[in-house]
Amino acid sequence: MSRLKPAPRGLVFFASLAALVSTVFFVTRAASAGAAQAAEPKEDIYASEKAWLCRPGRRDLCDGNEGSTVVGKDGTLLAEPWQPAADPPIDCFYVYPTVSEDPRANSTLEPGPGERRAIHYQFARFASVCRPFAPMYRQMTLAGLLSSMLGGALKPDPDLAYGDVLAAWKHYLRYDNHGRGVVLIGHSQGSRVLIRLIQNEIDGQPEEARLVSALLLGVSVEVPKGAAVGGSFQHIPLCTAAGETGCVITYMSFRQATPPPPDSRFAHASKAGMESGCTDPGLLSAEPIRSVIATHADLLGTAETRAEWENMADIIDTPFVTLDGLLHTHCVHDEHGTYLAVAVQPESGDLRPHDIPGDVVFRGHVLASWGLHLVDVNLAMGNLIDIVRRQSVSYLAHNPGKHR
C-alpha cells in the first residue's frame, strides 16, 4: 500500500477557473470580437444531443473516469472506484459557472475546455445518485466577466444565458422528466441563472412539487435576517435538517481566518433587512466534511506553495483525491457578512497536505474578496452527494410512484 511522504507545508491554487486570471490582459484585445448572437434558442434546439453536455443513457462527460483516492491521515492511499448509478430514482439538472473561454461577451453553444472541466470537477460524480442533465447555454464568458469588472467594451447579456437555460428546462420537463423528482445544481453564474429560473418557473407553482432540492452554491440566496424563507424565494426555504426536501442548500466559502472583506462580491445581501443564506453541508449530512478535489489541475503560485500538493499528486493515479475530516465548516453571521467558514485542521502527525487549493491568486497575491470560490463545490463534494442521496430516499418516501 502506497503512503505519502511528509512535505513542506504550503498553499496551492486549484484553478478549474484559472483562465479567470490569465484572461485579464486579453479582455481589451477581445472587445472587438462582438457579442454572441442575440436570438434566444427555441426549445427544440435542446432536442439535439449536441446541446447537452450530459444526458442519461449515453456515453458522455458524466460517464467517464471519476475515481478517487482516499488519503488517510497516516498517508495510506485507498482507491475508491466510481461509476454512475444504473437506475437512479431522481434527476439532477446542472448549470455550470463562468468557465467559457470564448473571446466574446456571451459564449456560443459549442462546448470548450472550460465547460468540460466544469462537468468533470463539479457535476459528473452526482451521476452516482441521479440521472444527469447538463445543457449548454450562452453564458457570460470569462472575457465578458472581466470586461464588466474593468469597465471594458464587452457587454454580456444575462437574458441570453437565462433564455437558453429556460428553454433547456422546458424541454427537459416536456420530454424527460415524466413526473420524477429533480435536484437543481448550480455554482456562481449557474446558480444566478437557476435562482431566476426558480423565481419565474417553480417557486409557488405546480413544478415546485418536483423539486427535491436546489444546490445554489457560490452566490447569495437572500432571506430575511434570522429566517429561512421569504427573500429570494417566497415558498422555498433553506434546508435545515438531514433528509429535508423541497429546500435550498447554499453557501459561499471563506477561510475562517480570512473573512469576507467589505468589497467582496460574496456573502453580502443586496437589500436592507436581508442576509445571505448559509447551510452547512456537514450538518445536513451529519458527517465530517469530505473534500473531493481534482488531483491534477493548473497550480499557480510559487514552487514552495505547490510542493505539498504536488508531492501527493505525483503518486496518485486517479482523477480525484478524497480528504476526510481535514476541513471543518460552520456558518457565520457577523459584521463581515454571512458565509461558510472553512478551517483546515490537520491532527498531529497528519501526513496529508496541510492546506487545500481554492484561493484566487493574481500576481502572487491572494484575492481575499473571492474566498474559496473556486472550490465551493469540491470542498464538500462527498457531503453534497450524500445529502442528495438522503433527499432522494425521503422524497420518494413522501411521493410514492414518482420513480419511472
| Residue 404, pLDDT score | 54
Sequence-distant (≥ 6) Cβ neighbours of residue 212 within 8 angstroms: 90, 181, 182, 183, 245, 246, 388, 391, 392, 395
Q: What's the whole-number mean pLDDT along residues 17-31?
A: 39
The tens digit of pLDDT for each residue in 152-175 reads: 888 989 999 999 999 999 999 999
**Spatial CA neighbour of 327 closest among 295, 291, 357, 286:** 291
Q: Is 154 exposed, middle or buried (0-12, 13-18, 19+ CB in 10 A)?
A: buried
**Spatial CA neighbour of 97 closest among 196, 178, 234, 191:** 191
| Residue 392, pLDDT score | 96
The tens digit of pLDDT for each residue in 103-143 reads: 999 999 999 999 999 999 999 999 999 999 999 999 999 99
The pLDDT confidence band at residue 42, using thresholds 50, 70 and 90, is low
The pLDDT confidence band at residue 15, using thresholds 50, 70 and 90, is very low
Sequence-distant (≥ 6) Cβ neighbours of residue 173 within 8 angstroms: 207
| Residue 30, pLDDT score | 37
Alpha-carbon distance of 86 to 89, in angstroms, equals 10
* Confidence check: pLDDT of 20 > 50: no
* Confidence check: pLDDT of 25 > 50: no
The tens digit of pLDDT for each residue in 275-331 reads: 999 999 999 999 999 999 998 865 443 344 467 788 888 899 999 999 999 999 999
Q: Is 199 exposed, middle or buried (0-12, 13-18, 19+ CB in 10 A)?
A: middle
* Confidence check: pLDDT of 387 > 90: yes
Could you write out the DSSP letters of every residue in 10-57?
A: ----B-TTTHHHHTGGGHHHHGGG-PPP-SPPPGGGGGSGGGEEE-TT
The tens digit of pLDDT for each residue in 233-275 reads: 999 999 999 999 999 999 999 999 999 998 888 888 888 889 9
The pLDDT confidence band at residue 339, using thresholds 50, 70 and 90, is very high
The b/e string for 48-79 (b: 16+ C-beta within 10 A; e otherwise) is eeebbbbbbeeebbbbbebbbbbbbbebebee
Q: Give the rounded percent of residues in the chain with a pLDDT score beyond 90.
A: 68
Identify whether the C-beta of residue 233 lies closer than 8 Å to the C-beta of residue 213: no
* Confidence check: pLDDT of 69 > 50: yes
Task: Give the chain's mean pLDDT.
Answer: 87
CA 324 to chain centroid: 19
The pLDDT confidence band at residue 23, using thresholds 50, 70 and 90, is very low
Locate all alpha helices (DSSP H) within 270-402, ordered by sequence: 281-285, 303-313, 381-398
Cα angle 340-156-300, degrees, rounded to a multiple of 5: 50
| Residue 36, pLDDT score | 39
Q: Whole-model pTM?
A: 0.90
| Residue 296, pLDDT score | 80
